[in-house]
Structure 1
Amino acid sequence: MKLIINSITTCILLLLATACSESFLERTPKGILSEEQLSTPENAEKMVIAAYSAQGKEKYYLHPLTPWPYGDLRGGDAYKGGAGVGDLPEWNIAETFSNMTTDEAGVQGKWNVEYNTISRTNLALGILNKMTDDQMPNKTMRIAEMRFLRSNNYFWLKVNFKHVPFIDETVPVDQYNTVGNDLGDQELWNKIIDDLRFAAENLPATHADGAVGRPTKYAAKAYLAKVLLFAAYEQNATHEVIHINKEKLTEVVALCQDVVSSSGKALFNDFGDNFGCETQNGIESLWAIQFSHDDGTPRGNINGTTMVSYPMVAEYGCCGYHSPSQNLVNVFRTKNGLPDFDNYNTVNINGAQGVKANPVDPRLLHTVAMDGVPYKYKADFIFNEKTWTRQYETYGGFMSMKETVIYDSPCYQPVNPWKDSSKNRDVLRMDDVILWLAEALIQLDRPNEALPLINQIRERAAKSTGKLVDVKGMPTGNFDIKPYIATGAGKNIDWSKATAFKALQWERRLEFACEGFRAYDLMRWGIMAETINQYFQVEKTRRPHLASASFTKGRDEFLPIPKKQIDLSKGLYKQNTGY
């Protein structure tokens, strides 16, 4: 699955407008494949591959499948970056929540790219459903794979737009315009849950052909746990959490425990191994979008969203987007080895001197490139905040590193003027599963069971310093991180449901910083408005481009339904609250 074909051409429309005669109209036009002709096991497999290929179709960064442009910019983890607020203004609008309109191009693009990908899975499912088990013995497994892929795209539509039409392979194309976006919040979650239940019941624990890009039973169980966790926080029309469904949380616990105990997956010893080419598809990855390099095509199947995240230094050259916020960097400062929950944002951490003068969580230097510190573990390749960033005076001196690779990496792929790689994008990892389990246990009033799970993540982080060294082999930061101790002589926290949940929220931000999850966590917990407005209150004093930024509670938790889609539906689609 690593070397995946870029597209499968199923229909070629020939312009043969010569003369209209009865005999011409009765002939089957050459170059057009009918649905019956496509309905063969061989073509079914090709359409399955085409559906996988669509999951990685990020040729144009404005229409991202990768979550960071909306998850980080709308969650306070990062600024847009680039050449100022007028450079890709769609993302500036997302970051500041200012001047968002229902016909904004980036929002329309996000809607389109997710539904285009869903269309591939529905086409594949339509053909698979016509196969008999005798014709295609692996039919049920392939259907399960396609329903898993479809659930991935519907999940991202759900957390970005809240109310979207659910169209599956049973809906004829000429009836798409009869399907509205009026499903209730839980009804839509249940549609996604149904796909994942089917996948979990019908996918194998491992694939006999060793195809790492295909989801397994445990990947489906992990994704099912994720969706159930989101659905458990039941919200009203203005996106306030009004009930936490403990039945769903109980299932989350069972699913996560099964994945942890039976999947054969585990945490890497070093946190940084999650972000390198050489270790992709490794022990911690449950399912990843597969990209390709040197696959016989001019540029490979690479991630078009991440190619704008590289520094402006000569070895790369473009484009300086995805700049971690000062608020995010400050979160990594520790006090006696623990997060400084109440005062973290009173001290600005900046550059090599800052990470040596202040105790920090080592995950900071796995995540953020900063002045005077080696870039991507290359000890003699030192980041310079003034010359490597694109517009220092606007966005400051930080850049995101998790999605990039070093210029001499085997999966590095220059695509002038951009630079990119074939590094896979993890969608499901074991650290996520462990923290979902901890979160569900806390909300089920079992915080003591969550304590060792959160500490497991922290203890791995404490060990993840081997890559963070200078040319002399010395640590590049003053690393100080300790587990939470709730009892005994070394007690450092009063561990209750409230403090456990705060620790869980902090751990998720530290672990997944700049991976695109932050806004969706805040949305799930129902605290996005107060969190982002508190963030703006301080951050706009640091970054002038945020001067007019403001979050409107009850509206800005979700993106607007694109006006073009409402128009095309002739008013059948209803707009989100507040737009």
Structure 2
Amino acid sequence: MKIIKYITVFILCIMAVSCKKYLDEVPQAVVSQEDLKTPANTDAMVIAAYSALGNDRFFIPYSSMWAYGSIRGGDAYKGGGGTGDVGEFHQFETFINNTVTNGSGDAVFYQLFVGIARCNTALQLVEGQTDAAYPLKTQRQAELRFLRGHFYFLLKILFNHIPYVDESIQKSADTYGSISNVALTSDQLWNKIAGDFDYAAANLPVTQTDVGRATKGAAQAYLAKTLLYQAYTQDDKNNVTGIDKTKLTRVNTLCDSVISSGKYSLTPEFATNFLPQSDNSLESVFAIQYSKNDNSSIGRTDAGHVLDYPMNAEYGCCGFHSPSNNMVNAFKTDANGLPQFTTFNDNDVVPTGDYKTGSFDPRLDHTVAIPGHPYKYQTGLVYQAAWARDLQSYGPLLSMKETVAYTDPSFTRFPPFMSSSKNWEIIRYADVILMKAEALIQTGREIEALPLINMIRTRAGNSTALLKQKDGTPTSNYRVDTYKPGVNCTWTNAYAWQALMFERRLEFAMEGYHFFDLVRWGIAAEYINAYFTTETKRTPHLVGAKFTKNRDEYLPISQAQINFSHGLYKQNTGW
């Protein structure tokens, strides 16, 4: 018994020494704050902030914003396998069913703040470096402020009232729950976001050695976009109460700076923007850079669009993001090759499948997968209605800008999903052109906006080379012309405004921002409810859908976030 007692005491002593030794050592695979302070590791943290751009998941597609901007803006139906398949998106689409417990809404709020936290952490480290040890200090600060501005911009257009945390006050994990989401007014929040882009524009180079890093032109364009949104002033019930023309004048100046830089231009072919072999083209002002075969488990592929591929054997999942009949009809043109502003939706082309009797803008077949039409320009791969997942609920159409041909080297599978390493554009040069046109029209200079809008339409009309059937005949009957005052239109300010709004919808269809255009223009309620009136008769999944004015302009602050802040966060208007 004594021997057992001595052995036990000996073992306990050895354990005590071992535990003390273990507690005194830094755990493996853990990087300390001190380790991060080296110039090399600080630079690695800047890269980590960039990587937050593409950290989407299938239920939080914040890179493209399709679930928040396309399906809420009338461009698309949710799609998928019925209303219960990722039901949170069905709540977004119908509005009336949305709740403060929507998990996707909570997740996108959280994920965007993860991106902001990475920016703030990296900024703290960069600011601790000396110029001698870290020669790119100012440039890296500018890049991080650009990225932070991007994340905050998305939060602002999604939720309106958000807590604002920068690197000077990010001190602990509790910080985000201890700062009120109404501490700043809407205008003050916009100023903070604009301030980041302003700093970036002043301190970023015109060209970066590393493709994908933010540039001066990207910062100027994003600053213009921020000021354009801020210019449409709103009251505390989300009503647009006026337009700040001083800000629009600066939007125009910033767009001129991007244009005059000579670094960007419209690609001759519209399709170029949505083909992986054309990544980082002259039209790309800022894009998320994806990758595969990069030594990670599944690559840094575009996870935000994994749900959007067809259900045929070559793909297999999942049939989401289905273009609405309304949006397809918007691509109709009249005998003059111009959009049908008020009558486009009177007759529905989708049930007939006849794209030869009338005439259409070619951007239709670059955007929408239509039965009988080649899929992603592959004449040997003709899209079929059966490739859609739920014909009864969502019809036969699917979105194409975000997908790639299954034979493309960028295509990858990670069952049950698939995706690609194709870039996703955040701002393309076409947006700069149309932002300038919008600012000009809203300041009474519609004549100067005319050639800008016509520039976009000319490119659209010239983008038919890839839209061929196997026998070489055009896939649809295309007719597009420019606006010619006194010949095919009367270019008044009101008419120019209609043309601008329509051109934005056609050019950026299914790219995720249409809803946010409607909100900043102050027409969301009227537009969406008119859309529901007609579209409900075409698809049963929209029965009962309704946009509630002075509420649905923004998503609710999730109950989970309010609980996290112990009630400090205040709920948005109407919720």
- For the aligned pair, the TM-score class normalised by the smaller chain equals over 0.9
Give the drift of 1:419: 1.7
Q: Deviations over 1:51-91 (max 9, x none)?
A: 11111112443454321111001100000000000111000
Residue aligning to 2:430? 431
Report SS of the residue matched to 2:207.
coil
Residue aligning to 1:99? 97
Report SS of the residue matched to 2:78.
strand
TM-score (norm 1): 0.94
Task: Please say if 1:360 is aligned against 2:360.
Answer: yes
Deviates more, 1:363-372 or 1:49-58: 49-58
Give the drift of 1:389: 0.4
d(CA) in 2 for partners of 1:289, 1:435: 21
Task: Please say if 1:379 is aligned against 2:379.
Answer: yes
d(CA) in 2 for partners of 1:405, 1:428: 20
Q: Check conservation: 1:84, 1:394, Cα contact below 8 A.
A: yes
Q: Check conservation: 2:163, 2:176, Cα contact below 8 A.
A: no
Residue aligning to 2:390? 391
Spell out the pairing of 1:93-492 with structure 2 (5 A cutoff): 93-171=91-169, 172-173=171-172, 174-182=174-182, 183-207=184-208, 209=209, 211-336=210-335, 337-350=337-350, 353-385=353-385, 387-487=386-486, 491-492=487-488
Q: Check conservation: 2:58, 2:305, Cα contact below 8 A.
A: no
Residue aligning to 1:545? 541
d(CA) in 1 for partners of 2:89, 2:22: 50
Q: Check conservation: 1:59, 1:304, Cα contact below 8 A.
A: yes
Give the drift of 1:492: 1.2
Q: Deviations over 1:209-242 (max 9, x none)?
A: 2x11101100100000000000000001111111
Give the drift of 1:152: 0.6
Report SS of the residue matched to 1:323.
strand
Q: Deviations over 1:188-208 (max 9, x none)?
A: 00000000000000000001x
Report SS of the residue matched to 2:265.
coil
d(CA) in 1 for partners of 2:26, 2:17: 13
Is the alpha carbon distance of 1:576 and 1:536 closer, same or farther for their aligned partners in structure 2, counting shifts above 3 Å? same
d(CA) in 2 for partners of 1:407, 1:461: 26
- Extract unaligned runs of 5+ from structure 1: 1-17
Is the alpha carbon distance of 1:170 and 1:469 closer, same or farther for their aligned partners in structure 2, counting shifts above 3 Å? same
Q: Check conservation: 2:306, 2:418, Cα contact below 8 A.
A: yes
Is the alpha carbon distance of 1:81 and 1:20 closer, same or farther for their aligned partners in structure 2, counting shifts above 3 Å? farther
Give the drift of 1:351: 7.6
Q: Check conservation: 1:180, 1:573, Cα contact below 8 A.
A: yes
Q: Check conservation: 1:48, 1:121, Cα contact below 8 A.
A: yes
Q: Check conservation: 1:229, 1:436, Cα contact below 8 A.
A: yes
Residue aligning to 1:42? 40
Is the alpha carbon distance of 1:33 and 1:279 closer, same or farther for their aligned partners in structure 2, counting shifts above 3 Å? closer
Report SS of the residue matched to 2:111.
helix
Opposite residue 357 of structure 2, the aligned amino acid is A
d(CA) in 1 for partners of 2:19, 2:381: 72
d(CA) in 1 for partners of 2:368, 2:57: 25
- Extract unaligned runs of 5+ from structure 2: 1-14
Is the alpha carbon distance of 1:29 and 1:529 closer, same or farther for their aligned partners in structure 2, counting shifts above 3 Å? same
Q: Check conservation: 2:61, 2:305, Cα contact below 8 A.
A: no
d(CA) in 2 for partners of 1:433, 1:264: 13
d(CA) in 1 for partners of 2:27, 2:275: 47
Residue aligning to 2:5? none
Give the drift of 1:113: 1.2
Q: Tell me which structure has the larger Cα radius of gyration.
A: 2
Deviates more, 1:55-64 or 1:412-421: 55-64
Q: Deviations over 1:285-332 (max 9, x none)?
A: 011001001212231111112111011110001100000000000000
d(CA) in 1 for partners of 2:17, 2:450: 76
Give the drift of 1:22: 12
Q: Deviations over 1:404-451 (max 9, x none)?
A: 000111101111122210111000100000000000000111000000
Q: Deviations over 1:240-261 (max 9, x none)?
A: 1111111110100000011012
Residue aligning to 1:505? 501
d(CA) in 1 for partners of 2:244, 2:431: 20
d(CA) in 1 for partners of 2:463, 2:501: 21
Q: Check conservation: 1:78, 1:325, Cα contact below 8 A.
A: yes
Report SS of the residue matched to 1:305.
helix
Residue aligning to 1:496? 492
